[in-house]
Structure formats: C-alpha cells, structure tokens
Amino acid sequence: GLNVSVAKGDAMSAADVAAAFALAKPRIAINAIAGRGTQVGFWDTTQKNITSAAKQYGSKELIFLSSVGVGDSAVAYTPEAIE
C-alpha cells in the first residue's frame, strides 16, 4: 500500500506547515487546498508556506492542484503573486 501521512494545522501559519513537514518529511507533497472563496492573500500565502516547508524538509516534488486564479477567481491572488 501507499505510505500516506495527514497533518492538521492552519496552512496560513508557516509554523504549523513547517511542523507538519517536520513530522511527515514527505518525498512528495500535494497542495489541494480548497475553500475560503476569494480571500485575498490566502492562496498565495498558503502556497508560499507549503513551498518553503517542502524545500526545508527535503520534499522532492510538490504538486499544486487548483483552479483558483482561473477566470473570475483571479482576484484571489495578490498582484505580487500574479507577477
């Protein structure tokens, strides 16, 4: 079977995300966060936190699965994240 780990925490908190990665030390991480609608800053902050923790704890691959940013949901990202 697959060796899958699940961690609870707040993806907006860099410390929570780092703690989850420190515990699981995943080779592959999947970001499929959904919800919270178009809260400006949510999507780019959570992606930054996950990407930083993945690099810090040696993940070899990071899969980002989302339709946020497509069409009318483009307002969910800050201008800095779009650049």
Type of residue numbered 42: F
Tokens of residue 72, six digits = 């009318």
- Structure-model confidence comparison of residues 3 and 61, the more confident one: 61
Separation between Cα atoms, residue 1 and residue 18, nearest integer Å: 26
Q: What is the DSSP letter of 59?
A: -
Could you tell me which residues are beta bridge partners of residue 64? 31
Question: How many Cα atoms sit within 13 Å of 4 on the Cβ side?
Answer: 4
Range name among 6-10, 12-16, 34-38, 53-57 with the lowest pLDDT average: 34-38
Structure confidence by residue, pLDDT tens digits, 26-83:
999 988 887 655 566 788 888 899 999 999 999 999 998 877 666 776 676 667 766 6
CB 46 within 8 A of CB 68: no
